[in-house]
Structure formats: structure tokens, C-alpha cells
A and B are shown apart, each in its own frame.
Chain A
């Protein structure tokens, strides 16, 4: 059974870089699949941040692209998110998830439990 677990600081100062890691168990990232990050501001809806293939190919939300870096470490079976120059608007629960992908579709399953990151001085 594939399980994902997010980790990282729960509090980040404005203008600094948010860094999170998603540890994957029950499946080897190097075997395939895309992996992604999604966030949800308190009381609001879901926003896709970006996705990465096990080979390192990435796709980012155009609205965040200039500030986002997603990387993968197959040796540790984990992937990571960095979001730079954060503001209060980046306060959210951050989820990692595996993507099921076909030629024209994709879906997120399973998801990590999520981790709340607050941007505040």
C-alpha cells in the first residue's frame, strides 16, 4: 500500500523560502509515476502547485512557476517542494500525492495527510 507523508517547518517568515519533503513508502519512486504537490488555503479550495516525474521532468502551475522548484531524490524515495519569496497568501495546508496519468488525463491518488504551513513574522 502506497503511503505519502509530508514534512517540513510549520512556520516560515515572509520573503523566505518554504521547503517541504514528501516521503513515499510502499512504492519505489524510480519505478515510475508522476508525483505532485497541491495546496489548500484555510477554508478555501484546492490549488495544484506542480508535478514531477521520477526522471526529474517537471510541470508547474503558471501562476507559481517563477517561485516553485520541485525535485526528486530516488535514493531516499522522496520528492521535495521549494517555494520562494513567500507571503501570507502562501499560508495553506500542503499536500503531496501520486498522479495516475494517461495520455490525456490524470488524477491524484493516494494523498498524504497534509501539513499546515503558516507564513508569518
Chain B
């Protein structure tokens, strides 16, 4: 089973700053990783799929990169609405499972 480890657990930044969130897989997942944003009391929202493709309606300040075991979600200039929890997610073909990282909380400094 592939384990996804996100770091840091909490990231404290100010609006306008650049945020860099990491997701590391215990074995290679090629470029097949997704990122989600979750705000309190809301369902998660897809941001990025296949490591670097922005989902429909996602602002250009969100970008994803990486392949193999190391992936990054970058928010180029934080807006007040970006402070939330972010999860990465991948799929394994065998056994056929889907796993999420434990999340990174992005909080206002």
C-alpha cells in the first residue's frame, strides 16, 4: 500500500506570500496525484489532477508539480480565501486502492 506523507503539518503565512506544500509517496506514483482544498464545514474541492493540471475554475495562482515520489502544490500569492486544509491523493492499481495524505493546514500568520 502506498502511503502519502504531507509536510509541513501546519504552515503559517501571510496574505500575499508564496505557499509551498509537499506530498511524498512511499513509492513511485508516476504523475498521478491530485490535490484538494477543504475549508471548515465544506466538502473538499479538487484543485489539481495528474500532478499539474488545474481543475475547472481553479485560479492560476494554484499550480502543481512533481513526479515519482515528490510532489508540490504552490500558491503563488496567498489570498485570504486560500487559508484552508490541503490534501493530496493518489490511486494504486494493485491492490486497487485510493489513499489521501494526512493534510496540511495553511493558516494565517
Chain B minimum-CB-distance residue to A47: B100
Query: Given A46-B44, A62-B97, A105 and B102 touching (CB < 8 A)?
Result: no
Chain B minimum-CB-distance residue to A51: B98
The interface size of chain B toward A, counting residues with CB under 8 Å, comes to 29
Determine if A61 is an interface residue (Cβ-Cβ < 8 Å): yes
CB distance B49 to A100 under 8 Å?
yes
Chain B contacts of A95 at CB under 8 A?
43-44
Determine if B59 is an interface residue (Cβ-Cβ < 8 Å): no
Query: Given A47-B100, A48-B100, A114 and B49 touching (CB < 8 A)?
Result: no
Chain B contacts of A62 at CB under 8 A?
1, 95, 97
CB distance B96 to A48 under 8 Å?
no
Could you tell me the distance between the alpha carbons of A105 and B34 in the complex, rounded to whole angstroms? 9
Q: Which of B13-21, B67-75, B76-84, B86-94 lies at the interface?
A: B86-94
CB distance A112 to B102 under 8 Å?
no
Determine if B50 is an interface residue (Cβ-Cβ < 8 Å): yes
Could you tell me the distance between the alpha carbons of A61 and B102 in the complex, rounded to whole angstroms? 16
CB distance A46 to B100 under 8 Å?
yes
CB distance B97 to A61 under 8 Å?
yes
Could you tell me the distance between the alpha carbons of A20 and B51 in the complex, rounded to whole angstroms? 32
- Sampled A-B contacts (20; CB under 8 Å): A45-B101, A45-B102, A46-B36, A47-B100, A48-B97, A59-B96, A62-B1, A102-B50, A104-B93, A105-B32, A105-B33, A105-B34, A106-B34, A106-B98, A107-B34, A107-B55, A107-B89, A108-B34, A108-B46, A108-B89
Residues of chain B touching chain A, judged by Cβ–Cβ distance below 8 Å, are 1, 30-34, 36, 42-46, 49-50, 55, 87, 89-91, 93, 95-103
Residues of chain A touching chain B, judged by Cβ–Cβ distance below 8 Å, are 36, 45-48, 51, 59, 61-62, 95, 100, 102, 104-114
